[in-house]
Every structure is written in C-alpha cells, then in structure tokens.
Amino acid sequence: MPPSLSRRCFLSQTLMGCSLPWKHIMGAEPARTRFQLACMTLPYSSFPLRRALEGIRQAGYRYVAWGTQHRETEAGPPVPVMAIDAPVQRARDLARECRDMGLDPLMMFSTVYPEHPEGLERLSHRLKQAAAAGIPQVLTFGHTEGGNQKLWLQRFKALGPIARDLGVTLVVKQHGGETGTGQACAQIIREVNDPGIRVNYDAGNVMDYLKVDPLPDILKCADVVHSFCMKDHRDWPIDQDCGPGWGEIDHYRLLHPVAWTGRLMPLCCENIFRPLLPRPSDPAAIDRLATTVRAYLETVIAGLHTLPTP
C-alpha cells in the first residue's frame, strides 16, 4: 500500500465500484471524498503554457490539469501541451516542471476519440505518458454525433488492464450524441466492468449538448464518477457555457452524491469565464477569474462536508 494512503482510504478506493454507502459495507461512517481542486491550462490557451502555470499557481491552486495546446508566441501556431507521440520522458519532464512550481498535475487530455482508427495505440501511449508523469487520470470523450459503442467496448476492455498496470485511470466524459449524459457513459463503463475505466462528469456539457438537467443525471452514474470537468451553463439570457457559479447549475446538489466516497476526486476547472461578457485578452484578468472560481468551489466543498453523512 502506498505510504500516502491510510488503510481506510485504501479500502474505500478498493470498493470504488460498489454503490452501497460505507456504513452498510464496513459498519463505519462514510469517509469524506477528498476533492482535489485543479485549474486546467485550457482557459489560458491564447498564452504560453508557462504563463498558464504561473497564473494557476498565483490563483491559489495546488493542482493543474494539462489542456490541449497553447500559443507560445503571438504570431505562431498553437503548440500541443503534450504531443500525442511525444516520448514519455517529455511528460516526465513537464510534470517535474509543474511540481517545481508548486502544482501537482492530476489529469491530461487524450486528444483522441476512442473510435479513432488508431485509438487503441494512441490511448495506450497517452496512458504511458501519464504514468511517466505521475498523472492519475487521462480524459477522453467521443464524437458529438455519437460513436460506435461496440468498438468503444472493445477498446475500453483492452485499455482497462493497461491503465491498471500503469496505475492510471482512463475517464470518459459526456460530449453529446450517444454519450451525452452521465447515465449513458455509466452504462458503457459498467459493461466494460474494469476499474481502470471510469466516468468523468461534465455538467456543462450535459446541459449544453442535450439540454438535460445534470442533477438527476448524476444520480444515475455517481457510483462510477471519479472526477469532474468543472464548467457551468446558462440557457438564459444566452445559451452559453461559463465558469462555475455564473450559470444555472447548483454545485451543492451536483457534488453531494459523490461527497462521501472516501476517494480522491479531481475537480478540474475547464471553463472559468463569465457569461455574456467577452473573454479577457489580459492573462492577469484570467488569473482573477481563476481565483474567483477557486474560492467559490472551496466554499461549496467546505459547506457540503458540514452536512450529516448519508
């Protein structure tokens, strides 16, 4: 058992696939979920990666999630944070750079759909990059028009043992179409039935793509949710994604079903922007938005854990 895990935490993670509360399994009170609040580099994609990392740290985050690409020079093309074919040493080096700055990386985008012709090979390499970097989760999702679920099942059943052997979890989030809800993603993950493959919940996408209320939806998948992409959404006065706290989603109700899992639970802020207003052109303004979102979510988490255990 890793020294950083208590026996109680280890047992709760071992029982991750069970939907019964802790007290019904062990005769003990449920253990609090240890939410890990991270900011993605994605909101800083118009700026160099180094500036994104500096801003996230200055905004008070201890954790970071690697986005997809950044503009390293004003006139240059976007540069991938981690190229899909980059050697694992590159991932190890970038993770060390993050930790030297005081940021622990928790998640990275796969940047490849599971149904891609080379999806198995590319996702396998992503898992190896994550393992080399000490990143616990790799995020993937499907095409908004729906994917080949039979192929997804084949791929995930092959990827599950690879992920487990590497100590990484491949998480699948909602992205419209046949995988647009948490319930739909959970049905796939339950059929795969491998602890190396789990659900990432993106409430903003559930509202945005399918106009589905995420609050009843998350109740149908909470037992297999192992992380969140944090964004909010408004249907009025404009149909628009936004940062947590500025939309219509009640984050107390959203996180309550997973607040006593005993697990580590990354909450990775993907969108931190205000609705209706233009996105900042100054990275310092993005820092301030990141700070506001962090404070809001910290308040939600602290409040939830004052409630009686279920």
pLDDT at 19: 42
Q: For the chain, what is the domain count?
A: 1
> Is 91 within a domain?
yes
Asked if residue 56 belongs to a domain, the reply is yes
Q: Where do the DSSP E strands lie in the chain?
A: 34-40, 63-66, 69-71, 78-80, 104-109, 137-140, 169-172, 197-201, 225-230, 232-234, 240-242, 264-269
Q: Which domain covers residue 72, as residue numbers?
A: 30-302
Domain-embedded: residue 280: yes
Confidence of residue 149 (pLDDT cuts 50, 70, 90): confident
Q: What pLDDT shows up at residue 30?
A: 85
Whether 11 is covered by a domain: the verdict is: no
Assign residue 137 the CATH number of its domain: 3.20.20.150
Report the alpha-carbon distance of residue 100 to residue 269 in Å, rounded. Answer: 21
Whole-number average pLDDT of the chain: 92
Q: Is the pLDDT of residue 28 over 80?
A: no
Handedness of CA 178, 113, 125, 158 (dihedral sign): positive
Residue 10, pLDDT above cutoff 60: no
Residue 17, domain member (yes or no): no
- Would you place residue 128 in the very low, low, confident or very high pLDDT band (cuts 50, 70, 90)? very high
Q: Quick check: is 9 in a domain?
A: no
> Long-range contacts: 24-31, Cβ < 8 Å, 24+?
29/309, 30/260, 30/261, 30/262, 30/309, 30/310, 31/260, 31/261, 31/262
Considering the domain boundaries, does residue 171 fall inside one? yes
Q: Where residue 8 falls among pLDDT bands split at 50, 70, 90?
A: very low
pLDDT tens digits for range 199-216: 999 999 999 999 999 999
Q: What's the pLDDT at 24?
A: 44
Weakest-pLDDT range from 4-13, 120-129, 254-263: 4-13
Highest-scoring range by mean pLDDT, 26-30, 173-177, 282-286? 282-286
Residue 18 lies in a domain: no
pLDDT band at 309; cut points 50, 70, 90? confident
